[in-house]
């Protein structure tokens, strides 16, 4: 192989060396698959309930959150830096969740609060999985599924009242 191609190959190998061994590959695979699976379970429940944010949305939120914490962990960031990563993920997911909340003016009704809360929780589950807290991720998913499936919906929906000037 010519020196030029050897240098190109060495550069490519260096760029793909963030998973140097089977232990790291296994760890990343388990964490990301668990995040996606837990997100998928939460999304399935939401889709079954006829909500717009379903399986794919929840899986992507959990997987994305897991990636956001897994990559800095691999890079060896300090706890203070990880705290800032978590703050960014939590804030970003808040904006995503806010996009699912609708105010229906003609009926003075708010919709999407449970979906927004579910997306926020799904991100937390993804964070737990990404940080290697697999049991916590599974437990959080199980609790959320119990809340969403077993607790009855309130008979009265939140109403928006118009304030007088």
Structural domain count, the chain: 1
Euclidean distance between CA atoms 133 and 8, whole angstroms: 38
Closest CA to 53 of 146, 116, 129, 103: 116
Mean pLDDT, all residues of the chain: 88
Which residues form the domain of 105? Answer: 22-149
Alpha helices in the chain (DSSP H): 3-15, 22-48, 55-75, 79-98, 113-130, 134-150
* Structural domain includes residue 67: yes
Q: Are 68 and 128 in contact (CB under 8 A)?
A: no
* Structural domain includes residue 116: yes
Radius of gyration of the chain (CA): 21
DSSP state of 19: S
Higher local confidence (pLDDT), 165 or 108: 108
Q: What is the pLDDT of residue 144?
A: 95
* Structural domain includes residue 3: no
Q: What is the pTM of this model?
A: 0.82
* Structural domain includes residue 164: no
Closest CA to 28 of 138, 123, 130: 130
* Structural domain includes residue 96: yes
3-class secondary structure, 103: strand
Q: What is the pLDDT of residue 147?
A: 93
């Amino acid at each position: 192989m010519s020196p030029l191609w050897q240098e190109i190959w060495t550069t490519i190998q260096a760029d793909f060396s963030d998973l140097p061994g089977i232990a790291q590959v296994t760890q990343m695979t388990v964490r990301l698959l668990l995040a996606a699976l837990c997100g998928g379970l939460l999304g399935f429940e939401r889709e079954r309930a006829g909500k717009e944010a379903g399986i794919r949305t929840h899986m992507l939120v959990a997987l994305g959150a897991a990636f956001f914490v897994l990559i800095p962990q691999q890079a060896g960031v300090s706890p203070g830096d990880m705290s800032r990563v978590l703050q960014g993920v939590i804030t970003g997911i808040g904006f995503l969740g806010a996009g699912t909340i609708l105010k229906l003016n003609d009926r003075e009704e708010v919709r999407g609060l449970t979906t927004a809360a579910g997306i926020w929780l799904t991100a937390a589950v993804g964070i737990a999985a990404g940080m290697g807290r697999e049991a916590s991720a599974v437990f959080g998913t199980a609790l959320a599924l119990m809340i969403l499936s077993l607790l009855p919906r309130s008979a009265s929906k939140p109403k928006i009242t118009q304030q007088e000037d």
